[in-house]
Structure 1
Amino acid sequence: MSRVAGLVVASLLLAACGSAPKPRPDPYAGEAGSRVRPLPDRGAASVDALPPAPNCVPPREHDESLYTAGGLYAPGVADSAPPVAIDVSNIPEPVPRREPKSRYGNRETYSVLGRTYRVMDSAEGYKERGIASWYGYKFHGRHTSSRERYDMCAFTAAHKTLPLPSYVRVTNLDNGRSVVVRVNDRGPFHAGRIIDMSYAAATRLDMKRSGTARVEVEALMGPDDTRFADAVPPTPARPAPPPPRAAAPVPANRWRGPVPPAADRPLAPPTPMGIGPQVVQVGSFGDRMNAERLVQRLADAGLDGAELDHAIVGERSVWRVRFPAQAVEAAQALAARILDSGLATPRLFGAEP
């Protein structure tokens, strides 16, 4: 009898081993509707621990035939969170700095849905309380009113009348959370709302699920603002120019275009450092994805050719956004175009041997 019982137990064990394991749920699969389901608790470590959420998602394709001047973009299409959960905890908030007014989005007046809005001359002293909303994946990668690409994973916002760009601090009056955002777009055009936050900013304020929140918006800095002189390092005095010498020939594969007139630029291009061909650097980031986003923004503005350069600076890993070395005149002309775009403040470095 014991032998029969042993055979029964063994057969049951084999059946259990042969059954198919339960499939693991996809941690990033969204539910039907316009929101992504919350991620399970990651507190306990296990073999089934979820992979880290991505910092962002690729931009969407946009059909501009769905936009009519003076109206809204694709009004019949619902906005939503990204198709996968994203982690914005490591994305840095923007640091307010003096910038020239954007070439686009700063007309004295404009009209949307039959209502006319007047753009403020200055952001100085602006402070207002009201309702904030947020916009997300529907607009991800589409041009904003300033012609920059909307990045739902950057700390930006849309405002109806502040000059573009402006920096503001937005505080959620219900929970005390706050975030600094760069205003680079127009909106919101729904009644009773004073500012539209990016998805990342809404996440920081903990207002994604509710969709709106009571906030206080306070301007920190507007275009050409001089109240915060310490926000931008002072420009060092230029050294005395070296004695004139014969200009080096420009390589045949380098751009020979003229340097744009100074009157057409908001700032003078940087002074070359060293002699010979110059590298144009436009940014340095600890997060590679932030560096890649700047490369994309430059390309969208017609400034192609930026490359990522990885370096260790003071035991810190950084990703530098640079244009390859080129003749001094061409490098200064490129720097002037970058300044005109308002995307970055370039620096010139002598090419390494």
Structure 2
Amino acid sequence: MFVAACSSAPQKTAPSGRYPDDGELPKGDQGVKRKVGTPYKVAGVWYHPKEDPGYDEVGIASWYGQDFHGKKTANGEYFNMNALTAAHKTLPLPTFVKVTNLDNNRSIILRVNDRGPFVPGRIIDISRRGAQLLGFDKQGTTRVRVQAVDEHGKPEKSSPRPQSVSTETIVTESLSDALPQAPVASTNDPVVISNETHYIQIGAYSQRANAEQQAERLLKFGHRALVEQTRNSNGTFWRVRVGPFVERLIAQQRLDRIVADGFYEARILSESVK
């Protein structure tokens, strides 16, 4: 199925790329131009996209699915949870990668067309179908090796750089008004239902009108947010939050999508269930 681009003024919220078939490794231009991307900041952390044909890294992979099915990716394609695609923080869009599950030695080729995951310690976020083929869809995360390749699975360099373990090169900024962020559980821990609920907080505003305007922006991207009044020693504020989520993994997956939609200061906050 092909979707024609609108001939009138472009709509920022409308994906322009082709919707890939189930089980497909999307190839070609998919209706969008290849791009490296400019530096961007998420929750106080700077990421620097770049050409990296010798990319070869070991780290933790996660996967995303139903909540983002049919929505646009960072380069304007459609996300199909049943196609063979992935999200990465800095590789050009698109880039083909060979992903090997180091727990069972399964390997597949994926097309990187999205940004994320913005969770410490994770290097790639994979479509649900990709996670099924790699054999970790039931556990949520796994340890993988990710290598840049062409669409046929061949390394883009004859002598790739040595394999490295993920040590994200990031630049942080100290923000006096930064919101507190709950600690992230070990990526090797199983997903369990705890006595906490989790919210994605987009921001806190001194004017209610500003908070409601932000909530309206979120709704245009399909994220329904709450505007709640809160007080502290600095005064009265209105916070904009999405949730609650019982499982932190689901909150993390939604956070990736919210950030990809341009809300770069969003972060997860956890609260004890009373």
Rg (Cα) greater in structure: 1
Q: TM-score range by the shorter chain?
A: 0.3 to 0.5
Does 1 or 2 have the higher relative contact order (CA < 8 Å, sep 6+)?
A: 2
TM-score, length-scaled by structure 2 = 0.45
Instruction: Give the strand-richer structure, 1 or 2.
Output: 2
Instruction: Give the helix-richer structure, 1 or 2.
Output: 1
